Amino acid sequence: MDYKDIIRNIKNKNFENIYLLYGREYYLIDNAIKNFKESLNESMIDFNLDVIDGKEIFLDQLLSSIETLPFMDDKKITIVKDFELLKGKRKNFSEGDEKYFIDYLDNISESTVLVFVVYGEVDKRKKIVKKIQEKGIVFNCDKISDMDLFKWTKRKFEAFGAIIENAQVMYFIESQGYRDKNSDKTLSDLENEIIKISSFVGKENKVSNEIIDRLSQKKIENDIFKLIDYIGEKNSSSAIKILNDMIGEGESVLGIFAMISRQFKIVLQVRQLQIQGISVNDICEKLSLRQFVVNKALKQSRNFSDDIIIDMLNFILENDFKIKNGLIKDTLAIEILVGKYCQRNIS
Protein backbone atom coordinates (compact mmCIF):
# COMPACT_ATOMS: atom_id res chain seq x y z
CA MET A 1 0.00 0.00 0.00
CA ASP A 2 1.41 3.42 -0.94
CA TYR A 3 0.88 6.79 0.73
CA LYS A 4 -2.00 7.83 -1.52
CA ASP A 5 -3.84 4.60 -0.69
CA ILE A 6 -3.35 5.20 3.04
CA ILE A 7 -4.74 8.75 2.82
CA ARG A 8 -7.63 7.67 0.58
CA ASN A 9 -8.62 4.95 3.04
CA ILE A 10 -8.44 7.36 5.99
CA LYS A 11 -10.69 9.83 4.16
CA ASN A 12 -13.12 7.01 3.39
CA LYS A 13 -12.97 5.90 7.06
CA ASN A 14 -11.63 2.54 5.99
CA PHE A 15 -9.18 2.27 8.88
CA GLU A 16 -6.56 -0.23 9.86
CA ASN A 17 -6.35 -1.03 13.56
CA ILE A 18 -2.70 0.09 13.91
CA TYR A 19 -0.42 2.39 11.91
CA LEU A 20 3.26 3.26 12.12
CA LEU A 21 4.26 6.26 10.00
CA TYR A 22 7.91 7.29 10.19
CA GLY A 23 10.64 8.96 8.16
CA ARG A 24 12.28 12.24 7.24
CA GLU A 25 9.40 13.67 5.21
CA TYR A 26 7.59 15.32 8.11
CA TYR A 27 5.15 16.99 5.72
CA LEU A 28 3.65 13.61 4.80
CA ILE A 29 3.43 12.54 8.44
CA ASP A 30 1.70 15.77 9.47
CA ASN A 31 -0.66 15.52 6.50
CA ALA A 32 -1.66 12.01 7.61
CA ILE A 33 -2.28 13.27 11.17
CA LYS A 34 -4.45 16.05 9.72
CA ASN A 35 -6.52 13.50 7.80
CA PHE A 36 -6.95 11.30 10.86
CA LYS A 37 -8.27 14.31 12.78
CA GLU A 38 -10.60 15.34 9.97
CA SER A 39 -12.09 11.83 9.83
CA LEU A 40 -13.68 12.36 13.24
CA ASN A 41 -16.90 14.16 14.12
CA GLU A 42 -15.61 17.69 14.74
CA SER A 43 -18.09 18.41 17.55
CA MET A 44 -16.95 15.28 19.44
CA ILE A 45 -13.23 15.41 18.63
CA ASP A 46 -12.18 16.24 22.21
CA PHE A 47 -13.67 12.93 23.34
CA ASN A 48 -12.39 10.80 20.47
CA LEU A 49 -8.86 12.00 19.79
CA ASP A 50 -5.79 11.72 22.00
CA VAL A 51 -2.39 13.02 20.84
CA ILE A 52 0.30 11.67 23.16
CA ASP A 53 4.00 12.44 23.62
CA GLY A 54 5.52 8.97 23.27
CA LYS A 55 8.72 10.03 25.01
CA GLU A 56 6.89 10.79 28.26
CA ILE A 57 3.97 8.33 28.36
CA PHE A 58 3.75 5.40 30.80
CA LEU A 59 2.14 2.03 30.07
CA ASP A 60 -0.98 2.57 32.19
CA GLN A 61 -1.65 5.97 30.60
CA LEU A 62 -1.26 4.57 27.10
CA LEU A 63 -3.56 1.62 27.79
CA SER A 64 -6.16 3.96 29.29
CA SER A 65 -6.24 6.02 26.09
CA ILE A 66 -6.39 2.97 23.81
CA GLU A 67 -9.17 1.34 25.83
CA THR A 68 -11.42 4.43 25.99
CA LEU A 69 -14.47 3.78 23.81
CA PRO A 70 -15.57 6.32 21.17
CA PHE A 71 -18.30 8.77 22.15
CA MET A 72 -20.97 9.52 19.52
CA ASP A 73 -18.58 8.49 16.72
CA ASP A 74 -17.45 5.23 15.13
CA LYS A 75 -13.80 5.43 16.13
CA LYS A 76 -11.52 6.58 18.93
CA ILE A 77 -8.11 7.62 17.54
CA THR A 78 -4.96 7.60 19.67
CA ILE A 79 -1.89 9.21 18.06
CA VAL A 80 1.44 8.50 19.80
CA LYS A 81 4.33 10.71 18.68
CA ASP A 82 7.95 9.50 18.84
CA PHE A 83 7.19 6.45 20.99
CA GLU A 84 10.40 5.50 22.79
CA LEU A 85 10.10 1.74 22.22
CA LEU A 86 10.12 2.25 18.44
CA LYS A 87 13.53 3.88 18.67
CA GLY A 88 15.06 1.13 20.76
CA LYS A 89 14.92 3.21 23.94
CA ARG A 90 13.27 2.43 27.25
CA LYS A 91 12.87 5.29 29.73
CA ASN A 92 9.35 4.89 31.10
CA PHE A 93 8.80 1.26 30.07
CA SER A 94 10.39 -1.71 31.82
CA GLU A 95 11.32 -4.84 29.89
CA GLY A 96 8.15 -6.43 31.25
CA ASP A 97 6.05 -3.42 30.17
CA GLU A 98 7.45 -3.70 26.66
CA LYS A 99 6.65 -7.42 26.39
CA TYR A 100 3.15 -6.89 27.82
CA PHE A 101 2.39 -4.07 25.38
CA ILE A 102 3.63 -6.03 22.34
CA ASP A 103 1.29 -8.91 23.28
CA TYR A 104 -1.49 -6.39 23.98
CA LEU A 105 -1.38 -5.18 20.36
CA ASP A 106 -3.02 -8.49 19.36
CA ASN A 107 -6.23 -7.53 21.16
CA ILE A 108 -6.98 -3.88 20.41
CA SER A 109 -10.68 -3.06 20.09
CA GLU A 110 -12.05 -2.64 16.57
CA SER A 111 -13.35 0.78 17.63
CA THR A 112 -9.80 2.02 18.32
CA VAL A 113 -7.33 3.34 15.73
CA LEU A 114 -3.82 3.41 17.18
CA VAL A 115 -1.39 5.60 15.21
CA PHE A 116 2.33 5.73 15.96
CA VAL A 117 4.26 8.53 14.25
CA VAL A 118 8.03 8.88 14.44
CA TYR A 119 9.78 11.94 13.03
CA GLY A 120 12.86 10.11 11.81
CA GLU A 121 13.97 6.50 11.75
CA VAL A 122 12.70 3.55 13.79
CA ASP A 123 14.62 0.52 14.97
CA LYS A 124 13.26 -2.09 12.54
CA ARG A 125 14.87 -4.90 14.55
CA LYS A 126 12.53 -4.31 17.48
CA LYS A 127 9.72 -6.81 18.08
CA ILE A 128 7.19 -4.00 18.40
CA VAL A 129 7.90 -2.81 14.84
CA LYS A 130 7.47 -6.35 13.52
CA LYS A 131 4.24 -6.74 15.53
CA ILE A 132 2.78 -3.51 14.07
CA GLN A 133 3.72 -4.70 10.58
CA GLU A 134 1.90 -7.96 11.28
CA LYS A 135 -1.25 -6.30 12.68
CA GLY A 136 -1.46 -3.10 10.65
CA ILE A 137 0.53 -0.78 8.36
CA VAL A 138 4.13 0.37 8.61
CA PHE A 139 5.01 3.11 6.12
CA ASN A 140 8.25 5.02 5.56
CA CYS A 141 7.40 8.64 4.70
CA ASP A 142 10.37 9.33 2.46
CA LYS A 143 10.79 11.45 -0.68
CA ILE A 144 7.89 11.20 -3.09
CA SER A 145 8.16 10.03 -6.71
CA ASP A 146 9.00 12.41 -9.58
CA MET A 147 5.44 12.34 -10.93
CA ASP A 148 3.87 12.90 -7.52
CA LEU A 149 6.34 15.71 -6.87
CA PHE A 150 5.40 17.39 -10.15
CA LYS A 151 1.66 17.17 -9.41
CA TRP A 152 2.10 18.30 -5.81
CA THR A 153 4.23 21.31 -6.83
CA LYS A 154 1.82 22.47 -9.53
CA ARG A 155 -1.15 22.04 -7.20
CA LYS A 156 0.57 24.04 -4.47
CA PHE A 157 1.40 26.98 -6.77
CA GLU A 158 -2.20 27.06 -7.98
CA ALA A 159 -3.52 26.87 -4.42
CA PHE A 160 -1.55 30.00 -3.57
CA GLY A 161 -2.97 31.83 -6.59
CA ALA A 162 0.02 31.79 -8.94
CA ILE A 163 -0.11 30.75 -12.60
CA ILE A 164 2.67 28.35 -13.55
CA GLU A 165 3.31 26.37 -16.72
CA ASN A 166 4.59 22.78 -16.70
CA ALA A 167 8.03 23.85 -17.91
CA GLN A 168 8.37 26.26 -14.97
CA VAL A 169 7.20 23.57 -12.54
CA MET A 170 10.05 21.36 -13.76
CA TYR A 171 12.49 24.27 -13.63
CA PHE A 172 11.47 25.03 -10.04
CA ILE A 173 11.86 21.38 -8.99
CA GLU A 174 15.32 21.17 -10.56
CA SER A 175 16.40 24.43 -8.92
CA GLN A 176 15.47 23.14 -5.47
CA GLY A 177 17.55 19.96 -5.66
CA TYR A 178 14.88 17.93 -3.83
CA ARG A 179 15.57 14.87 -5.96
CA ASP A 180 19.33 14.91 -5.40
CA LYS A 181 20.47 11.76 -3.62
CA ASN A 182 22.14 13.57 -0.72
CA SER A 183 19.71 16.48 -0.51
CA ASP A 184 18.13 17.17 2.87
CA LYS A 185 15.38 19.26 1.28
CA THR A 186 11.83 18.33 2.33
CA LEU A 187 8.36 19.12 1.02
CA SER A 188 8.03 21.68 3.82
CA ASP A 189 11.10 23.48 2.44
CA LEU A 190 9.59 23.41 -1.06
CA GLU A 191 6.26 24.71 0.22
CA ASN A 192 8.01 27.65 1.89
CA GLU A 193 9.70 28.50 -1.42
CA ILE A 194 6.38 28.17 -3.29
CA ILE A 195 4.70 30.53 -0.81
CA LYS A 196 7.52 33.06 -1.21
CA ILE A 197 7.41 32.96 -5.03
CA SER A 198 3.60 33.06 -5.14
CA SER A 199 3.50 36.03 -2.77
CA PHE A 200 6.08 37.83 -4.87
CA VAL A 201 4.27 37.40 -8.22
CA GLY A 202 0.79 37.99 -6.75
CA LYS A 203 -2.49 36.27 -7.53
CA GLU A 204 -3.26 35.40 -11.16
CA ASN A 205 0.27 36.31 -12.28
CA LYS A 206 2.73 34.02 -14.04
CA VAL A 207 5.80 32.46 -12.51
CA SER A 208 8.82 32.70 -14.82
CA ASN A 209 12.27 31.10 -14.74
CA GLU A 210 13.73 34.53 -14.03
CA ILE A 211 11.58 34.95 -10.91
CA ILE A 212 12.48 31.44 -9.72
CA ASP A 213 16.17 32.28 -10.13
CA ARG A 214 15.74 35.62 -8.43
CA LEU A 215 14.12 34.11 -5.36
CA SER A 216 15.90 30.75 -5.28
CA GLN A 217 17.39 29.44 -2.04
CA LYS A 218 20.80 29.19 -3.71
CA LYS A 219 20.73 32.90 -4.51
CA ILE A 220 19.53 33.73 -0.99
CA GLU A 221 22.31 31.58 0.47
CA ASN A 222 24.86 33.47 -1.64
CA ASP A 223 23.31 36.79 -0.58
CA ILE A 224 23.68 35.78 3.08
CA PHE A 225 27.33 34.91 2.44
CA LYS A 226 27.83 38.33 0.83
CA LEU A 227 26.01 40.12 3.65
CA ILE A 228 28.22 38.46 6.27
CA ASP A 229 31.32 39.17 4.16
CA TYR A 230 30.40 42.88 3.96
CA ILE A 231 29.82 43.05 7.73
CA GLY A 232 33.18 41.31 8.24
CA GLU A 233 34.83 43.91 5.98
CA LYS A 234 32.97 46.71 7.86
CA ASN A 235 31.41 47.76 4.53
CA SER A 236 28.07 49.02 5.87
CA SER A 237 26.84 50.63 2.62
CA SER A 238 27.20 47.39 0.62
CA ALA A 239 25.70 45.39 3.50
CA ILE A 240 22.64 47.67 3.65
CA LYS A 241 22.23 47.53 -0.14
CA ILE A 242 22.20 43.73 -0.34
CA LEU A 243 19.94 43.62 2.72
CA ASN A 244 17.41 45.97 1.07
CA ASP A 245 17.56 43.90 -2.13
CA MET A 246 16.72 40.73 -0.20
CA ILE A 247 13.80 42.38 1.60
CA GLY A 248 12.60 43.87 -1.70
CA GLU A 249 12.59 40.37 -3.23
CA GLY A 250 10.26 39.10 -0.54
CA GLU A 251 12.65 37.68 2.05
CA SER A 252 11.44 38.28 5.62
CA VAL A 253 13.68 39.90 8.21
CA LEU A 254 13.07 36.97 10.58
CA GLY A 255 14.14 34.62 7.78
CA ILE A 256 17.31 36.65 7.24
CA PHE A 257 18.00 36.61 10.98
CA ALA A 258 17.60 32.81 11.00
CA MET A 259 20.01 32.35 8.07
CA ILE A 260 22.62 34.69 9.57
CA SER A 261 22.34 32.84 12.87
CA ARG A 262 22.69 29.45 11.15
CA GLN A 263 25.79 30.57 9.24
CA PHE A 264 27.53 31.95 12.30
CA LYS A 265 26.83 28.74 14.23
CA ILE A 266 28.51 26.90 11.36
CA VAL A 267 31.48 29.32 11.57
CA LEU A 268 31.88 28.54 15.28
CA GLN A 269 31.70 24.78 14.70
CA VAL A 270 34.08 24.81 11.73
CA ARG A 271 36.65 26.96 13.54
CA GLN A 272 36.59 24.69 16.60
CA LEU A 273 37.07 21.57 14.48
CA GLN A 274 39.91 23.20 12.54
CA ILE A 275 41.63 24.11 15.83
CA GLN A 276 41.41 20.40 16.73
CA GLY A 277 43.37 19.63 13.57
CA ILE A 278 40.49 18.08 11.63
CA SER A 279 40.76 18.31 7.82
CA VAL A 280 38.24 20.15 5.63
CA ASN A 281 36.97 16.88 4.15
CA ASP A 282 36.42 15.40 7.61
CA ILE A 283 34.69 18.59 8.77
CA CYS A 284 32.34 18.33 5.78
CA GLU A 285 31.49 14.75 6.68
CA LYS A 286 31.15 15.41 10.41
CA LEU A 287 28.81 18.41 9.94
CA SER A 288 27.08 17.08 6.77
CA LEU A 289 28.02 20.25 4.87
CA ARG A 290 29.22 20.90 1.34
CA GLN A 291 32.90 21.76 0.98
CA PHE A 292 32.00 25.18 -0.43
CA VAL A 293 30.06 26.03 2.77
CA VAL A 294 32.91 24.84 5.02
CA ASN A 295 35.54 26.79 3.07
CA LYS A 296 33.32 29.88 3.18
CA ALA A 297 32.90 29.51 6.95
CA LEU A 298 36.67 29.19 7.43
CA LYS A 299 37.23 32.36 5.43
CA GLN A 300 34.53 34.24 7.35
CA SER A 301 35.96 33.09 10.69
CA ARG A 302 39.02 35.30 10.09
CA ASN A 303 36.85 38.44 10.35
CA PHE A 304 34.89 37.54 13.49
CA SER A 305 36.09 36.51 16.94
CA ASP A 306 34.06 34.05 18.98
CA ASP A 307 33.02 36.90 21.30
CA ILE A 308 31.69 38.95 18.38
CA ILE A 309 29.76 35.98 16.97
CA ILE A 310 28.22 35.08 20.35
CA ASP A 311 27.23 38.71 20.90
CA MET A 312 25.63 38.82 17.45
CA LEU A 313 23.72 35.57 18.06
CA ASN A 314 22.39 37.02 21.33
CA PHE A 315 21.41 40.24 19.52
CA ILE A 316 19.48 38.20 16.92
CA LEU A 317 17.74 36.14 19.60
CA GLU A 318 16.73 39.23 21.58
CA ASN A 319 15.47 41.13 18.53
CA ASP A 320 13.64 38.09 17.15
CA PHE A 321 11.61 38.19 20.39
CA LYS A 322 11.08 41.96 20.13
CA ILE A 323 9.88 41.74 16.50
CA LYS A 324 7.45 38.91 17.26
CA ASN A 325 6.04 40.89 20.20
CA GLY A 326 5.75 44.20 18.34
CA LEU A 327 8.46 45.91 20.38
CA ILE A 328 10.58 46.93 17.36
CA LYS A 329 10.07 47.23 13.62
CA ASP A 330 11.78 44.34 11.82
CA THR A 331 13.66 46.47 9.28
CA LEU A 332 14.97 48.75 12.04
CA ALA A 333 16.24 45.76 14.03
CA ILE A 334 18.28 44.37 11.16
CA GLU A 335 19.62 47.81 10.18
CA ILE A 336 20.84 48.21 13.78
CA LEU A 337 22.54 44.80 13.50
CA VAL A 338 24.41 45.85 10.35
CA GLY A 339 25.42 49.22 11.80
CA LYS A 340 26.49 47.81 15.15
CA TYR A 341 28.63 44.97 13.85
CA CYS A 342 30.14 46.88 10.96
CA GLN A 343 31.52 49.14 13.71
CA ARG A 344 32.24 46.07 15.94
CA ASN A 345 30.41 47.94 18.67
CA ILE A 346 29.60 45.57 21.56
CA SER A 347 27.95 46.97 24.65
CATH 1.20.120 fits 146-215, yes or no: no
Of residues 139 and 289, more confidence is placed in 139
Contacts of 172 (CB under 8 A, 6+ apart): 153, 164, 193, 194, 197, 207, 212
In tens, the pLDDT along 47-68 reads: 999 999 999 999 999 999 999 9
Is the pLDDT confidence value at 185 over 90?
no
Q: How far is CA 322 from the centre of its chain?
A: 24
Is the pLDDT confidence value at 347 over 50?
no
Q: What is the mean pLDDT of residues 66-80?
A: 96
Q: In angstroms, rounded to a whole number, what is the distance separating the alpha carbons of residues 89 and 83?
A: 9
Is the pLDDT confidence value at 344 over 60?
yes
pLDDT at 176: 84
CATH classification code of 3-140: 3.40.50.300
pLDDT at 1: 85
In tens, the pLDDT along 92-124 reads: 999 999 999 999 999 999 999 999 999 999 999
In tens, the pLDDT along 218-263 reads: 778 888 988 999 999 999 999 999 999 888 877 889 989 999 999 9
In tens, the pLDDT along 145-171 reads: 999 999 999 999 999 999 999 999 999
pLDDT at 181: 64
In tens, the pLDDT along 284-314 reads: 888 888 788 888 899 999 999 999 999 999 9
Domain map (residue ranges) of the chain: 3-140, 146-215, 220-342
pLDDT at 63: 96
Q: Which of 8-22, 137-151, 184-198 has the lowest mean pLDDT?
A: 184-198
The predicted model scores a pTM of 0.66
pLDDT at 346: 47
Is the pLDDT confidence value at 141 over 70?
yes
220-342 CATH pick, 3.40.50.300, 2.130.10.10, 1.20.272.10, 3.30.70.20? 1.20.272.10
pLDDT at 182: 61
Do 146-215 and 220-342 come out as alike in CATH topology? Answer: no
